[in-house]
A = this chain, B = another copy of it.
């Protein structure tokens, strides 16, 4: 804890890694590409899960669970998907080990699988193979199913939370009787994701389709939420795919329509992952450490009792515990998803208050309460908000009996302030560019979201991407109506799209 967090301006990548490490969020494991999600990081993911799960259920979805293993032949059935995922599949070939002479274990060659099994990189194939038996009639539709699970995509270059071989996610897989309803579903989920990103993570996002070059393998089109990190790079934070009838055709899922015809079902799939924890870290944190938006904070309030003399200790600790209990007793509020507010008294005696302030700051706890003999003499305490700098953060002399209500108000203010600050940053770093030279220059300095005209072809996108490493992140729903000329080819463009370098 005595380590200092690297400053963003000095080394942004190291700053991120320092926060992940010093806040106790995650670490690399001894298994290549796989991370250990540590308790504090996992607690943030749990808060995310709980809220997302409620939002999915409020929109009519239910959870289920499908096998981890996918027979190799299933993956091969949908060609784009096979193409897209074959190169990053972990493959199970045997189902038994045996003892070697002496010590140690070896794979038992007699226990070879007839057909190899893939660890799911995503579950469209195994799920649509199952849906085949669940869907006979239009009465069986829609199926609105979500799954929380782990998936594996063998990655060569990994980064904690943002890109790991194994990650945790939810994947929704819905089946519909007609195209319009499936497309509406894909849009509805994108709105759930937008609302979660903005209202809960306080992370502003663009919404809209991906270009064909960036869509999901097997999708007709992919909608996305796209956020800007503090290094001005883009982070794809969630995707919702309209899959057309591709998987129904690959797995022969037909139903009898109301009109009595046999038709292929229409599909969507959609997912967000532990990558969101990385997005949260990079959206809000500062050079002091992690900043967590209050609606997703595992711990809302830390109370640091301050005393020098033994005779002060008992009264200060008692007042601290009483305040913590009062915070926990604040009536459950839908703003916090009916979860109780959490408060902790840091009564460790081996550390000084300054050390504790620093530790909780690194860990991103939204509200710190300081409570010493002088405060207690006035029946008051000091409240400090994590996101504000220095003295601005502190409110002195808050009466103890008014503190719980004040804490709730501060948590809500902080949630709003984080979103506004992030939106301002994103908007300030979003700019129109009108020539390829300007594009290349601004992409390097200052960087950010570049709104540029594009001729709509995959070829042009690939050229720009190969040349500059920028990709089309999103074709925003809310883009201005403005035709123009492609920055690369000069051909007609229907409107500006968002280019950026991305994670």
Contacts and interface: CB of A to CB of B under 8 A. Distances in A.
Given A37-B64, A76-B105, A93 B91 contact: yes
Nearest to A73: B104
B92 A29 contact: no
A96 B105 contact: no
Contacts of A168: 65
Contacts of A45: 65
Nearest to A86: B97
Contact of A105 (B39, B46, B64, B72): B72
A43 interface: yes
Nearest to A67: B34
Interface in A14-42: 27, 29-31, 34-39, 42
Interface string A84-103: 00111111111111110001
B93 A89 contact: no
B107 A93 contact: yes
Given A91-B94, A92-B90, A93-B91, A130 B39 contact: no
Contacts of A83: 99
Contacts of A106: 72
Contacts of A225: none
Of the candidates A35, A105, A154, the one having the most CB atoms from chain B within 10 angstroms of its own CB is A105
Given A36-B67, A64-B37, A97 B126 contact: no
B338 A150 contact: no
B65 A36 contact: yes
Interface in A37-64: 37-39, 42-43, 45-46, 62-64
A450 interface: no
Contacts of A332: 332, 338
A296 interface: no
Interface stretch (A116-124, A360-368, A389-397, A479-487): A116-124
Contacts of A39: 62-64, 145
Contacts of A145: 39
Contacts of A69: 31, 34, 90, 166
A83 B99 CA distance: 8
B96 A76 contact: no
Interface string A116-159: 11110000001001100100000100000100011010100000
B62 A43 contact: yes
Interface residues of A, number: 69
A71 interface: yes
Contacts of A166: 67-69
B29 A126 contact: yes
Contacts of A129: 30
A66 to B, nearest CB: 5
Contacts of A88: 95-96
Interface string A247-269: 00000000000000000000000
Interface string A154-176: 10000000000010100000000
A327 interface: no
A229 interface: no
A332 B98 CA distance: 53
Contacts of A43: 62-63
A86 B98 contact: yes
Given A43-B62, A82-B105, A130-B36, A154 B96 contact: yes
Given A36-B67, A69-B34, A166-B67, A97 B105 contact: no
Q: Which 3 A-B pairs have the closest CB atoms?
A: A34-B67, A37-B65, A39-B62
Given A39-B145, A89-B97, 14 more contacts: A31-B70, A36-B67, A39-B63, A65-B168, A67-B166, A68-B152, A68-B166, A72-B97, A75-B97, A82-B99, A86-B97, A87-B98, A95-B154, A338-B338
25 contacts: A30-B129, A31-B70, A31-B117, A38-B64, A42-B64, A42-B65, A45-B65, A46-B63, A68-B119, A72-B97, A72-B106, A75-B97, A76-B105, A86-B96, A86-B98, A87-B96, A89-B95, A90-B92, A90-B95, A91-B107, A93-B107, A107-B116, A119-B119, A139-B350, A332-B332
